[in-house]
Structure 1
Amino acid sequence: METYLSYSAQEKQLHIHAKEKFLIDPYSFLQIHGRLNTHTGAASGIAQFKRRFYPEILSSIDVGVKYHSKLRDFTCDLQGKKTLPITDNGLLSIDTKAGYNFNPGSQKGKQRGAVELTYKLFNFTQDQDVRLKIGFDLFDKKPYFQVRENNWTFNTDIDGRWSVKYDL
């Protein structure tokens, strides 16, 4: 089970997250993600069924159905990702991501997409790996930046929004 703590400048509250994937077959899985707000005690969760298609062509194409407990709503999700290594060792790459989320109840959809330049620094210091990511959100038209160290992740964007995550 993957567990982590998160805090963002927008919410100003600490959250505890737990996520688990249950493999159904080599290309299908059920993912459960729960979140607990440590300030209010409010809990929410998401259950997703995902199926991967064409893993030999793209890094991933996932099609799934998601149920969000807080919104009491089902959505359909399609997302894809392709990683293009720039260097032979794969430490520098360009990642392209795209997705579309559709709510059958409200008949509304939301598209998303990003292009990211990722640089991995293994053994930055003894027992410490670092990943630097500069991205551009194609629909919000905003650049963003991420620094990830073994357990810590710091995200920020051009509007000054930021968040931090710590993997337990």
Structure 2
Amino acid sequence: METSLRLNAEDRSLVMHAKENFVSDGNIALQVHAKLNTQTGKPSCLIQLKKKFFPEVLTSIDVGAKVDVESREVTYSIQGKKTWELTDNGLLCLDLKGAYNYQPHTQSGKPKASVELSQKVFNFTEDQDLKVKLGITSLRESLTCSCGENNWTLNAELRESGGKRVHWSIAYDL
């Protein structure tokens, strides 16, 4: 089980987050996300079931559905990712991601596409690795940046919609 403490610009409250993945031999994954807002004491849960396809090396396609337990809303999704290693050691990569989420209760869909450049630095300091990502999300017109080490991750997003705004979040993996 993966657990973390998270803080973001929108909520301004600390959230305890837990995630568990159950994967079958046929690449069917059940993923459960649970959150507890430490300020309000309000819990939330998201359950996702998806089938993973790997048509070739460094390529994945996921098809599935997720349910927000609190709102009882179902969302169907398809998403894909293609990775190109830009160096022989695989530490510098370019990711192309695309997704489409359909919500039957509103009969609306939401496309998403992004390109990310990531650099991994092993042993940045003694026993500490570093990963830096820069990206652009085309449909939301935003620039993204992520910097993480073994436990800490800082994410930032500069959005154009409604004027330029920076959204940030920080996570500490327990």
Common fold, TM-score beyond 0.5?
yes
Q: Residue type of the partner of 2:4?
A: Y
- For 1:43 and 1:58, the matched residues in 2 are separated by 36
The residue number in structure 2 matching 1:160 is: 166
Aligned AA (1:150): N
TM-score by length of 2: 0.93
Q: Which runs of 5+ in 2 are unaligned?
A: 159-164
After superposition, the C-alpha distances for 1:108-158 in whole angstroms (9 at most, x for unaligned) are 111111100100000000000000100001111111111011010001122
Distance of 2:31 and 2:97 partners within structure 1: 20
Match of 1:2 in 2: 2
Aligned match of 1:135: 135
Contact 2:58 2:84 in 1 (8 A): no
Cα distance per residue 1:38-89 (max 9 Å; x no partner): 0001111111111012342552100011000122111101111111000010
Whether the 8 Å CA contact 2:114–2:138 is kept in 1: the answer is: yes
Amino acid at match of 2:119: Y
Task: Give SS of 2:166's match.
Answer: coil
Which aligned pairs between 1:36-51 and structure 2 lie closer than 5 A? 36-51=36-51
TM-score by length of 1: 0.96
Question: 2:8, 2:108 → 1: CA distance?
Answer: 27
For residues 25 and 43 of structure 1, the distance between their equivalents in structure 2, rounded to whole angstroms, comes to: 31
Query: Which SS does the other structure have where 2:76 is aligned?
Result: strand
**Shift in Å, 1:106:** 1.3
Residue correspondence of structure 1 range 24-103 to structure 2 within 5 A: 24-56=24-56, 59-103=59-103
Instruction: In structure 1, list runs of 5 or more residues that go unmatched.
Output: none
AA paired with 1:110?
K
Whole-Å Cα distance in 1 between the matches of residues 119 and 54 of structure 2?
A: 26
> 2:153, 2:37 → 1: CA distance?
19
2:107, 2:64 → 1: CA distance? 17
Q: Which residue of 1 is the match for residue 162 of structure 2?
A: none
SS at match of 1:41: coil
CA RMSD of aligned residues (A): 1.1
